[in-house]
Amino acid sequence: MLPARFAPGALGRALEPIRPSTAPGPSGLIASMTSPAQSLILGVGNLLMGDEGVGVHIIRALENERLPPTVTTLDGGTGGFHLLSLFEEFDPIIMIDATMDGAPAGTVRVLQPRFASDFPRTLSAHDIGLRDLLESASILGPLPTLYLITVSIDRLQSMSMELSEPVGKAIPEVLRRLYEIVAPGLTR
């Protein structure tokens, strides 16, 4: 049975469970919450809206990667307040999301937001935005170290589970940036 925070979200599906990065490839095994994890890579987005789901696509790409055992990955879906407890459990948290910031599609940026106002103004729409989540978490207590990796998109696509070519080509760059944060010096 999954903890309450993994209950079905707005789309009626449960969040993907936390998976330790030591599992070789996409094993489908569910890790217990007691497994050693300090860093969290949280991908958010709506897979049904094409490029807007890039954060979830990155989490799926990480299933084939070997990350340090102290790193946990989570498909955060379209976000929500049920993700708040993660801000108490992990440090650092690396969030990956799409943004419509006017940059060319596929542009990758790494930010270290400390306040909600540090988030890009035009992060794509979810049930609640990462900015709202950060504001709520800051009320509950001290925030962990946060990184936000954004991938620029040029439009919201409806009813498509495929990434556009420029956003798909950005995945290796996102993975490179993730490794710089969670495993500096580790080669893939």
139-154 pLDDT, tens per residue? Answer: 877 888 999 999 999 9
Q: Is the pLDDT of residue 37 over 70?
A: no
91-122 pLDDT, tens per residue? Answer: 999 999 999 889 999 999 999 987 777 776 55
Q: What is the mean pLDDT of residues 9-36?
A: 39
Token digits for 17? 């469970």
User: Is position 15 within any domain?
Assistant: no
CATH number at residue 75: 3.40.50.1450
| More confident of the two residues 49 and 136 | 49
Least confident of 8-12, 83-87, 183-187: 8-12
User: Is position 27 within any domain?
Assistant: no
User: Is position 57 within any domain?
Assistant: yes
Q: How far apart are CA 152 and CA 61, in angstroms?
A: 18
Could you tell me where the DSSP H helices lie in the chain? 54-62, 86-89, 130-140, 165-168, 171-182
User: Is position 127 within any domain?
Assistant: yes
User: Is position 14 within any domain?
Assistant: no
pLDDT for res 76: 87
* Percentage of the chain modeled with pLDDT above 70: 72
Domain tally, the chain: 1
Q: Is the pLDDT of residue 174 over 80?
A: yes
Q: How far apart are CA 14 and CA 152, in angstroms?
A: 27
Residues 6+ apart with CB under 8 A from 119: 111, 113, 129, 130, 131, 134, 148
Q: What is the mean pLDDT of residues 12-17?
A: 40
Q: Give me the domain span that covers residue 127.
A: 35-182
User: Is position 91 within any domain?
Assistant: yes
pLDDT for res 143: 85
User: Is position 9 within any domain?
Assistant: no
User: Is position 162 within any domain?
Assistant: yes
pLDDT for res 2: 33
